[in-house]
Amino acid sequence: MTKVGVLVGSLRKESFSLKLAKNVMSLFPEGYEVELVDISNLPFYNQDFDDENNVPSEVVAFRNKIAELDAFLFVTPEYNRSVPAVLKNALDTASRPKTDNRWGKKPAAIISQSPGGLGGFGANHHLRQSLACLNVPLLQQPEAYIGNVATLLGENGEITNESTLEFLTKFVQRFIELIKKY
């Protein structure tokens, strides 16, 4: 069983990112265990945690969770043309201590979204920049910038737009091809 962790860059109850993530999770075939990874309870990363050997229990639990997963899907909005702090904090938290980067060499894919037309391009590429530093092999194509997201979802958060569903199905297939290489 391949374990895929899904990290959502929004803590909002009605988050479009979360709704999209849930749709995409259901597109994985048998043999994949896909779970949402909670990042809402993480403290802001402080290097003293590690330097003083005083790591909060939430941080220990999160690092262990990331260590046990095989691959990651990031679904995120864009905040001021970049990655929301809550998601960047999660990346930083499991990247340290430097000798024990929990993300390294595990394949990942990014979906960014926006209620506007740009589809979170800035967040998507800033996230790529950090993941390159963390030695994460990333799905390059297709890129997923989901714009005008509110128009693509129904009342219960389901994707109602046929071509978006087709695109995301293809996206997951490509992601699986990448995962199988590692």
Ligand X SMILES: Cc1cc2nc3c(=O)[nH]c(=O)nc-3n(C[C@H](O)[C@H](O)[C@H](O)COP(=O)(O)O)c2cc1C
Among the listed residues 43, 97, 104, 116, the single contact to ligand X using CB under 6 A: 116
Binding-site residue total for ligand X (CB under 6 A)?
A: 15
72/5 Cα distance (integer angstroms) = 5
Alpha-carbon distance 83 to 81, whole Å? 7
Q: Judged by CB under 6 A, does residue 118 bind ligand X?
A: yes
Q: Which of 5, 6, 7, 17 binds ligand X (CB under 6 A)?
A: 17
- Report, in Å, the least distance between residue 107 CB and ligand X: 23
Choosing from 4, 5, 7, 15, the residue that interacts with ligand X (CB under 6 A) is: 15
Per-residue x/- marks for ligand X, 48-87, CB under 6 A? -----------------------------xxxxx------
What does DSSP say about strands 2-8 and 71-76: parallel, antiparallel, or unpaired?
parallel
| Beta carbons of 32 and 1 less than 8 angstroms apart | yes
The CA-atom distances, in angstroms, between 181 and each of 16, 47, 92, 106, 148 are 31, 34, 26, 10, 33
Q: How far is the CB of 36 from ligand X (least distance, A)?
A: 13
* Cα–Cα distance, 5 to 154 (Å, whole number): 25
By CB under 6 A, name the binding residues for ligand X. 10, 12, 15-17, 77-81, 114-116, 118, 120
